[in-house]
Structure 1
Amino acid sequence: MITSLSLKNWRTHKDTTLEFGRGTNLILGIMGSGKSGALNGLSYALFGSFPALKRRETSAGDVIMHGEEEAHIGLGFEQDGKKYRLHRILRKKGNKLSAAAKLYEGENVLETGQVRVTEAVSSLLGMDYDLFTRAVYSEQNNIDYFLTIDPGRRKKEMDRLLGLDRFEIARANSVYILNRVSSEAASASSIYNPEEHESCKKEHAEKTEKLSSLLEEKKKTEKALSELRGKIAPFQKSVSRLEKARKEREAAKSLMERSRARLEQLSSELEGKSPSRESLSAHREKLNALSKRREKLDSEIRTLEEEASALASQLGRVSALLESAKASSDSLSSLKKEIAKFGSPEELRASAEKKEQQLVSSSSKSESTANEIVDLEESAAALQPEQSECPLCGSGLPPEKKQQVLLDKKRKIETKKQALSELKKSIPRVKQELSTLHKSLRRLEQLQGKLPELSSRADALPELENKKILLKKRLSESNSRKKTLHEDRERLGQEHSRTLLEYREGESLLRKQESLKAREKECRDAEATLQSIKFSETELESARKSLEESRIKEERTSSRLEMLNRERAASEEMVSLLQERIKKMENAREQAVHLKGLEQDLVIYKNSLLDLQSELRSELTETISSAMNEIWPVIYPYADYGQIRLSATEKDYFFEVYDGEWRRLEKVASGGERACLSLTLRIALSTVLTPGVGWMMLDEPTHNLDRDAVHALSEALENKVPQIIPQSFVITHEEDLISSGFARSYKFSRDKESLGPTRVEAI
């Protein structure tokens, strides 16, 4: 019996705890309030899964409440007088999901881990997840499922519910294997051919005999080849010794001939000449003296070249200064002319002072005139048309007089304005003239400042011209002396070259004289070596002939051995191929016999599966019908249908009721009667398939039922089902099912608009 269920952060359940008792336990609530979630949690607590998760309509991560990282499911149940407690956890961290599980007996941990806990629960209950979903757990709106689907599908679903679909799978697999075995047996039979097998065995014997003959001949040929190679070695040694002697003889002869030819050449070159070391020493002393004189001349030439270079550099600088002095002289003349144009500085300063005074005077007059104009305009404005007295003296002022005074003032204002305009025009002009005078004065001062420097440069012109003439003279004298020294250097070099040539010729004659003596000795040694070498051309030819004949025999024997090796390899390959072919055919013969036997066994197995499935289907339908007839009077309160049964054919399962004769249920039963039959079937399946558990779970069983059928179902669940099923769970939104006779009743509610959690109320 399941005693409790706790859900924390599971779907819409923030923290829900439910207590269950023996009998019918009711969970009531509107759609989306968390009813099916509670039943899914119960299934997950037991087996680590529930139907929607198994079908992958949802994921394990989706059952964790939004915004939370862990979901906890706890379940308490009793079995065989012992109390057990299950605790499973789902954790989500980022994109990773992990699960943990523990099974307790009292306070002792029996098992840990998702898989091992599920296996332990299945062992305790005698029921795995598959049997649980088939016999105990009816999914939402699924109580009358088998009464409403079409026959072909009902056949398939009932077989699955009763576990008979496994026979269909096994039979399909056996047919597939049988076809494969038959195909492989036919293939193996086609490989084995008795005539070909005998022919291959005969050919294998012939090839084996030929191979033995080849191996024997090969052994003899290898022995002959070894003997020939033993004879060749002495011949090769003799030929090598004689060829070496001939080469030494030819080398000594060539050396003697070259020595004689060189001896004759040296004798010819030294004929009539008598070189001596005294003459060579005299030439060496002369060369040393000439070298010293040449070095002295070279030193004097370098000194003159340095002096000439310094003079040329000075001359360049003086020429540059001279050109600069001439340019300064020309600039001085132009400067004096320009200064003469400006006049004296005193005159320019006096003119500037006059212009400044004129500017001050004009500015003062302009300001005074402007003030006078303002005064005149104010006095004219004081003479109003209605005023009859003079504003100055207060005497009477006739209109004619007043008009005359106004005209005089206007004329004066105009005159003053013209004068002010002339003054304003003259002021910029005077300023311009004053600015020109200041610029001229500054230019004059600049020119006068340059005058002393230019005069100084122009005064140095005669001195620079004299210095230039003197430097040219000294440079010419230096170049003339350098030319003389170069001529002496040239003559001395020619004499040095002649002396050097004479010295080298004497040195060469001395070396040739020494070489002549060495060649005479070399020629005598070569003659002695030639006489000491013993060589016979006839002996060499004989040794070569013997060696060649032995090599020809060795090559022929070696070729024969290679041919034998090729024939041996080909024969061995053929023998191996024939042996493989024979073995393949013999294996195929054995395999064909084995597969034929296996084919017969598979045919028997397939037929046995079919027979066994039919027998089990018959036994199960009879057992379920028997259980239904025991339950039917308890669930169905009337006597019009005394019996019910589940029948099966090869194509369908169907339900029948008995009212004097057997009738198909769907043709005669009302909605209430169908509901009673559906409930009876569910109870029968639970008692037959899971007799040791005693659970039944119905999710929305009132779907498609009218009010009378709902009332009948409520009465059955309250009073009759507990007599047969120790504990059942009903999930519904139908408030007509509420009854005080249920073991436990809970009402679920939830504010779906604000996505609030499930609230539980015991009723």
Structure 2
Amino acid sequence: MIREIELINFKSHKKTKLKFTEGNNIFVGISGSGKSTILDAICFGFFGTTPKIQKKRIKISDLIMDKPFKEESANVKIIFESDKKNYEINRSIYLNKSSYAELRENGKLIAINQAQVTEAIEKILKVDYELFSKVIYAEQNKLDYFLTLPPGNRMSDIDNLLKLSKFELARAKTTSLLNKFKNQKNMREETLSNFDERDLKEKRREIEEYLEKLNKDLSSLEENTRKLNNQLEEKEKILEDLKEQKNKMENKKNMLIELNATISVFQNELKKLPEKDLGEIEKKLKHEETLYNDLEKEKIKREKEISFLISKINELEKALAEKKEGELFLQTFDEERIRILKKEEEDLKNTLVTCELKKQNLDEAIKNLKTSKERCPTCDRELPEEKRKELIKKKEEKLFLLNKKIIDLKNKYSSKKREFELENKNIEKANFFKKRIEQLGNVEGELSLYQKKLEEIKCKEIDLSDIKKEVMNLNTLFEELKSAEIKK
């Protein structure tokens, strides 16, 4: 319900304030006294427009009073009640700047521009401009709008205004869906009626027994599979052992063939040299045995040295990999970015603190203005009521915008702080790599040196197989000659 309307410089009204009561409120006056203007003001206050503006018969600036001279601005204020809440609309029109609008709910500012106010009013009243202008409000000489409509168009126009078509569509869809569910229900009831309850119980029992049998068979198959897998693993191990034994037997067979060939060679040599000096062979045999033992010791020594070198090379390769990782990290590490992030974080923090202080000052100023009725709390000069309200309104607008800015700054500050903390961890990592690289020093050169030593030792690797064969051959020859000497 509209409680009060105030017009300032609105068309023919210099300053008019009307209060409404419950029931019917009637405007009485001569033609041209401004009765229709009050209705236009109500339409404009709620929706920011009028039928004449919509039809482009006048401009919005034509609503500003122009007699005896053109005013700079016009204002409409409407106080109304809806759902036990009090609302106040203020819409202002200016000649040289943009229009202004605000909406308050129980004294609290909830919208501050034309579009926001209109959207909020439509939600509160549950009526848009089109429905309001055609059904609730009628222009002067336009009360017969629906009566002049052709009968064929009258119902469709009313449906469109009240948006009844969407309810008809919803009803049709609901009916279709209900029929679909009814058909499905009938089909299922018919299907169920074809089954005897005893047959169903018997079928269920048979299915349960069959499922139980399947589960038992499945468990048995799983157990057999597990056993077969174990047996397969055992057989594979046996097969590997047999393959290894086969390879060993092949090697021994080859060695036997070589030994038989060597024996044949020495037997032939023995036949050719029946009078060879036994002492000379024995002396050569001892020399070869001594040489073999010395070389065996040298080989063991070199194997130990090779083992040490390989261990050292592995250690140095790990150190080199660590050094390269550190160098790669340091190449991508950007200290300047961290410094910039820190400065941006501090700047946001300082700006946020400044805004918080401004907010406190605005809160205090608004509070003081609301409590000081006659004098300015800042300069102690006389403060008219209209000026006080204007100051409160301006400061509340500033506070509204400042609160939005503070929320935005807090979000940016939190985001920037997280980003800085994440990057700050990389500083510790960079310092660790710098120190570690310094500790490792010329690890590349050291690794190259040990690799070179290993190659040199491998090039001098001792092969004792030939000497061992020579000793065995000489020993066999010595025994055969000795045996032949005894027989003689």
TM-score (ref. length: structure 1): 0.25
TM-score (ref. length: structure 2): 0.35
Query: Which fold has the larger relative contact order, with Cα–Cα distance below 8 Å and residues 6 or more apart in sequence?
Result: 1
